[in-house]
Every structure is written in structure tokens, then in C-alpha cells.
């Protein structure tokens, strides 16, 4: 595969098959397309059908019909394709090991796609955990950009384990690990769950650490964060990995989201989800006073038990706070029936709205929302940070425990509950934490300061750290591809 100088940059973009991995790469793809790139966005078949269904619903909302080619991205050169993965269609989004196996099974199909694409791709931009894309880049002689969708602190933890910089304690899970630079002291149980076993023969352990062991093969690593939030951790990484180029270019979100405006409902401000977004909730928010509503959403993977849903419900009710609560279909039990306490909806009808899925960027940007009760996935953390919303974390797995430690101990922009399943969740704890995060002046001050830092980082005039890093990345990538960009 070859390409001549002066051709248009053609990036093949491939996320890991989770909503929290797809969204930031799609935002990045739209940003690159607006700068002259042609984009081929590759999903596994498992996620493609869900994503395209969402795009078609979005088309219908914007144009009145849902069969128009590349809409809603017709103004941008973005094409969506899928490759086979062998994942059963009924696999839950929480079955991470099966999704990882699907990625592995997609290797040959991905290489075949690269071989057949016309014009040929000039680079690959893929999720760090789609490691076979590095093999493909090596095979076809094109640069590959590794996109890390979690915090730099989480990357530093994975790196420390992969490179043997730390030894995980074999005793108490409360024993502190304090020698990872730029990261607050951690307990073993705060580490991403898949590496806690520290067993090189374990499938998920190998799948998680292998991309970090081969990090230097990528042209560079992009971080969806900003220096003012995680700069110390980035500098430590540069010392440990002198052969890697790291760029902090985040938060990777639509431009409108940063500057105090309600995001418009255009395609640049939307990322298609696995479930239909309920925009009626915005009309409900319009009727509420500024800062009066707690937004509750635990993401696309978190599975709550029926008991947890009931305790959360009772705690939210007792807090007497206005609540917009996202309860995914099937939350609380696999049958899809509501796990809410008897009479709960009737008792809370005046001050609570419950929906199946929300247009989260629009909700968090709404002035009525005063705080965000979240699973503390990295996208949700960043989206809340940009809008200056105090965070209340209830971590489920992976990086979310570490994110909660940073929220409480490093950034001071929120509070956290015990990890999902670690102790019995009680409605009294939920009630007290909710009231605190909605009223604590220091937390709110820290949240607003982080928001201002994020805005400065992405501003293009007198460029902030992320804006300058993004420009440097584009220059380096253009040079590595031997291409020129034709501004859109």
C-alpha cells in the first residue's frame, strides 16, 4: 500500500466497541474531517447496527427522513463501515471479555478493509486497546495514532504494571500504592479490576497490558485530557517512555460545549448512542430553577442490582432534590421490569423525571442542572468538568474507582460512594451525599475552576495547552503521512 505526496489525508478510525470509547473518537473524527481529512469510521458489527440505528433516528429528527446517505454528517467526509466480530447480538454491553474477543476476531477483516479501501488510507487512528490495528499499520507501512479514552492517571497505572515499575501488594486490598507519579495514593482495590489479579496468564490482564508494552510502536498517543488537570502525570510518563510522543488534546468535545451556550441540536454536537435519547427531558429542565436539579446517570455498562436501585431511589427521594434520572432498559433485573419501590413514581412525580437514555451533553450544559451523580467513567467526568458541575461518583469497574479517588482527593470537585458491590448501598448514605454535593461551596468552587481551566485549554486564540498540542499533532501527522490537507 502506498500513497503519493499531495493526496488528501484519509484516516481510518476504529474505536473499542463501547459507548464510552466510540463517543470521543467520533468527536475527534468530526474535528479532523472539518480540517480536511477523509474519515472511514470502523465499528464492529456488534456496535454498528446500534450506532446506525441511532444515526437514522437523528436523521429523522433533523430532516424528516432517515435514509439519506451520510447524513447527519453529509457536510463532513465521514463514512461508517463495519467488520465482522463473531459477537452474539444478544451479548450485554457489560460483557467486556467477549467484546475484547470480538476485537481479536476482527483482525483479518480489518486488514482486508485496509487493503480494499479507495483511496487507500494514509493513517490509522484507533483506540489503544485495538492493538491489532498496530500490526496492520506495521504491515501496510502507514502511521498509527493510539487514542487513549481514559485518564492519564489510569494510563500511568497500566504502564506501571506493564513495565514492572510497581509490584502489586499481595495482602490487604487497603494497602497503599504511592509510587506512581502524578497519581494519588491508591489501594489495590482502586486499580482497574482487570489488572488486580497481576496474572500474566489471565486473558483480560494480557489484553489490558499488551498495548502499553507496545506503546512506542505508535506514532504518538493522544490523551483526552488537558495539562491543567493532569499535566504532572503526563510529565512522569514522558520520563518513563522517552520514545513515545504524548499529546493532551482534550477535552475532545464539540466547540459549543465550552462557552456557556446551550448546544444546538446539530450533528456536530451529537454522538449516536446505543439507545434512543429522550429530548423531552430538556423541556422539563427548562421549567426548573438554575442549579436545582441533580442529574443521575451511570453510563452504558454499569449493572445495578434490584436492591441497589431501590436504595438509590429511596435516597434520592429522601434528599428532596429535583432529579433527572437515567434508568437504562433492564436496569435492576434482566427482564426489563422496573426495580423501583412500590408507589415510588407516584410519590416523586412532582420532582423527579425518569427516562431510559439522555442527550447527556445537552443535559449537563443546561443551567438547571446543579450536580452530576455518575459512575465516573472518563467521558462523564470530562463532560461534567467542562460544565463546572460537582460530581458524585458511584464507581462500577475499570478506571472508575481511580477517577473517584482523583475527584475527591486530587481535584476536589466532588464526592464518592463506595465501589459498586463493595458494601451494601444504603438510602441514608445516598441522601447525605446528594445533599452535600448539591450544597458544598468549596466543591462547587473547585468544579468551576476546573471548568475555566478546560475552556482555556481548548481556546484557539492565544492558544491553550490542548489547542496548541492539537495543532502540533496535526503537523506531525501530516508530515508522517506525506499528505496535504484541503480545508473543508
- Residue whose cell numbers read 413514581: 345
Mean pLDDT of 398-416: 94
Residue 449 belongs to domain with CATH number: 3.40.50.2000
In the chain, the number of structural domains is 2
Residues 388 and 310: beta-carbon distance below 8 Å: no
CA–CA distances in Å: residue 67 to residues 38, 52, 80:
21, 11, 14
Mean pLDDT of 149-162: 93
Q: Is residue 315 part of a domain?
A: yes
Query: For residues 6-35, b (16+ Cβ closer than 10 Å) or e, as one string?
Result: ebbbbbbbbbbbbbbbbbbbbbbbbbbbee
Residues 246 and 221: beta-carbon distance below 8 Å: yes
Mean pLDDT of 171-198: 81
Residue 135 CB partners (closer than 8 Å, separation 6+): 107
Mean pLDDT of 403-417: 95
Is the pLDDT score of 165 beyond 70? Answer: yes
Q: Are residues 220 and 333 located together in one domain of the fold? A: no
What gap in Å lies between CA 271 and CA 259, rounded to an integer?
19
- Residue whose cell numbers read 470521543: 24
Q: Are residues 310 and 190 located together in one domain of the fold? A: no
Q: Are residues 91 and 209 located together in one domain of the fold? A: yes
pTM, to two decimals: 0.90
Residue among 200, 197, 195, 199 nearest 180 (CA): 195
Q: Are residues 63 and 143 located together in one domain of the fold? A: yes
- Split at pLDDT 50, 70, 90, the class of 2 is very low
pLDDT value, residue 335: 39
Contacts 24+ apart (CB under 8 A), 264-267: 265/61, 265/62, 265/362, 266/62, 266/72, 267/30, 267/58, 267/62, 267/71, 267/72, 267/73, 267/75, 267/76
Q: Are residues 98 and 247 located together in one domain of the fold? A: yes
What gap in Å lies between CA 237 and CA 242, rounded to an integer?
8
Percent of the chain with pLDDT over 90: 64
Q: Are residues 249 and 281 located together in one domain of the fold? A: no
Digit-coded pLDDT (tens) for 82-97: 999 999 988 988 899 9
Is the pLDDT score of 364 beyond 60? Answer: yes
Return mean pLDDT, the chain: 88
- Split at pLDDT 50, 70, 90, the class of 69 is very low
Is the pLDDT score of 354 beyond 80? Answer: yes
Higher per-residue confidence, 7 vs 255 = 255
Q: Is residue 320 part of a domain?
A: yes
What gap in Å lies between CA 456 and CA 297, rounded to an integer?
27
Mean pLDDT of 296-308: 86
Q: Are residues 71 and 202 located together in one domain of the fold? A: yes
Residue 463 CB partners (closer than 8 Å, separation 6+): 471
- Split at pLDDT 50, 70, 90, the class of 235 is very high
Would you say the C-alpha torsion 52, 55, 60, 65 has a positive or negative sign? negative
Residue 185: domain span: 10-254+459-481
Helix (H) or strand (E) holding 450: helix 441-458
- Split at pLDDT 50, 70, 90, the class of 488 is very low
pLDDT value, residue 66: 47
| 322 class by beta-carbon count within 10 Å (0-12 exposed, 13-18 middle, 19+ buried) | buried
What gap in Å lies between CA 140 and CA 119, rounded to an integer?
14
Q: Is residue 269 part of a domain?
A: no
Q: Are residues 216 and 148 located together in one domain of the fold? A: yes
Residue among 444, 453, 308 nearest 370 (CA): 444
Digit-coded pLDDT (tens) for 7-66: 789 999 999 998 889 999 999 999 999 989 999 999 999 988 877 776 676 666 655 554
Helix axes 203-213, 96-105, angle to 10 degrees: 60
Q: Is residue 149 part of a domain?
A: yes
Percent of the chain with pLDDT over 70: 87
Q: Are residues 130 and 81 located together in one domain of the fold? A: yes
Catalytic residue annotation: 21, 127
Q: Are residues 158 and 34 located together in one domain of the fold? A: yes
Q: Are residues 405 and 432 located together in one domain of the fold? A: yes
Q: Are residues 204 and 280 located together in one domain of the fold? A: no
Amino acid at each position: 500500500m502506498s500513497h503519493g505526496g499531495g493526496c488528501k489525508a484519509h484516516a481510518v478510525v476504529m474505536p473499542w466497541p463501547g459507548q464510552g470509547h466510540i463517543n470521543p473518537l467520533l468527536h475527534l473524527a468530526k474535528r479532523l474531517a472539518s480540517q480536511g481529512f477523509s474519515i472511514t469510521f470502523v465499528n464492529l458489527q456488534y456496535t454498528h447496527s446500534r450506532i446506525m440505528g441511532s444515526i437514522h433516528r437523528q436523521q429523522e429528527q433533523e430532516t424528516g427522513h432517515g435514509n439519506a446517505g451520510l447524513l447527519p454528517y453529509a457536510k463532513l467526509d465521514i463514512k461508517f463501515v463495519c467488520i465482522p466480530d463473531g459477537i452474539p447480538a444478544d451479548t450485554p454491553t457489560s460483557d467486556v471479555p467477549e467484546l475484547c474477543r470480538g476485537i481479536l476476531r476482527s483482525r483479518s477483516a480489518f486488514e482486508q478493509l485496509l487493503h480494499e479501501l479507495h483511496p487507500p488510507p494514509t493513517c490509522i487512528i484507533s483506540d489503544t486497546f485495538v492493538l491489532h490495528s498496530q500490526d496492520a499499520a506495521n504491515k501496510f507501512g502507514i502511521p498509527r495514532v493510539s487514542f487513549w479514552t481514559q485518564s492519564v492517571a489510569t494510563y500511568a497505572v497500566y504502564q506501571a504494571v506493564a513495565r514492572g515499575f510497581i509490584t502489586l501488594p499481595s495482602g490487604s486490598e487497603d494497602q497503599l500504592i504511592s509510587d506512581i507519579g502524578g497519581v494519588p495514593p491508591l489501594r489495590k482495590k482502586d486499580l482497574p479490576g482487570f489488572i488486580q489479579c497481576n496474572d500474566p496468564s489471565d486473558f483480560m490482564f494480557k489484553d489490558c497490558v499488551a498495548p502499553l508494552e507496545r506503546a512506542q510502536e505508535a506514532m504518538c498517543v493522544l490523551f483526552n485530557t488537558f495539562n491543567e488537570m493532569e499535566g504532572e502525570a503526563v510529565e512522569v510518563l514522558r520520563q518513563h517512555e522517552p520514545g513515545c510522543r504524548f499529546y493532551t488534546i482534550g477535552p475532545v468535545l464539540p466547540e459549543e460545549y465550552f462557552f456557556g451556550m446551550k448546544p444546538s441540536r446539530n450533528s456536530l454536537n451529537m454522538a449516536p448512542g446505543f439507545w434512543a435519547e429522550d429530548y423531552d427531558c430538556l423541556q422539563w429542565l427548562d421549567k426548573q430553577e438554575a442549579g436545582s436539579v441533580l442529574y443521575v446517570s451511570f453510563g452504558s455498562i454499569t449493572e445495578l442490582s434490584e436492591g441497589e436501585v431501590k436504595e438509590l431511589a429511596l435516597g434520592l427521594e429522601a434528599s428532596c432534590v429535583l432529579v433527572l434520572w437515567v434508568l437504562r432498559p433492564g436496569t435492576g433485573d434482566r427482564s426489563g421490569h422496573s426495580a423501583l419501590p412500590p408507589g415510588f413514581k407516584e410519590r416523586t412525580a412532582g420532582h423527579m423525571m425518569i427516562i431510559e437514555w439522555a442527550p447527556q451533553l445537552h443535559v449537563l450544559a443546561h443551567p438547571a442542572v446543579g450536580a452530576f451523580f455518575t459512575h465516573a467513567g472518563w467521558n462523564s467526568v470530562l463532560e461534567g468538568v467542562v460544565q463546572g458541575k460537582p460530581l458524585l461518583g458511584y464507581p462500577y469497574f475499570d478506571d472508575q474507582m481511580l477517577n473517584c479517588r482523583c475527584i475527591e482527593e486530587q481535584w476536589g470537585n466532588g464526592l464518592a460512594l463506595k465501589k459498586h458491590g463493595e458494601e451494601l448501598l444504603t438510602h441514608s448514605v445516598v441522601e447525605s451525599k446528594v445533599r452535600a454535593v448539591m450544597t458544598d461551596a468549596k466543591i462547587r468552587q473547585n468544579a468551576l475552576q476546573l471548568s475555566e481551566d478546560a475552556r482555556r485549554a481548548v481556546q484557539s486564540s492565544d492558544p491553550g495547552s490542548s489547542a496548541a498540542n492539537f495543532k502540533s499533532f496535526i503537523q506531525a501527522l501530516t508530515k508522517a503521512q506525506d499528505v496535504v490537507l484541503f480545508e473543508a
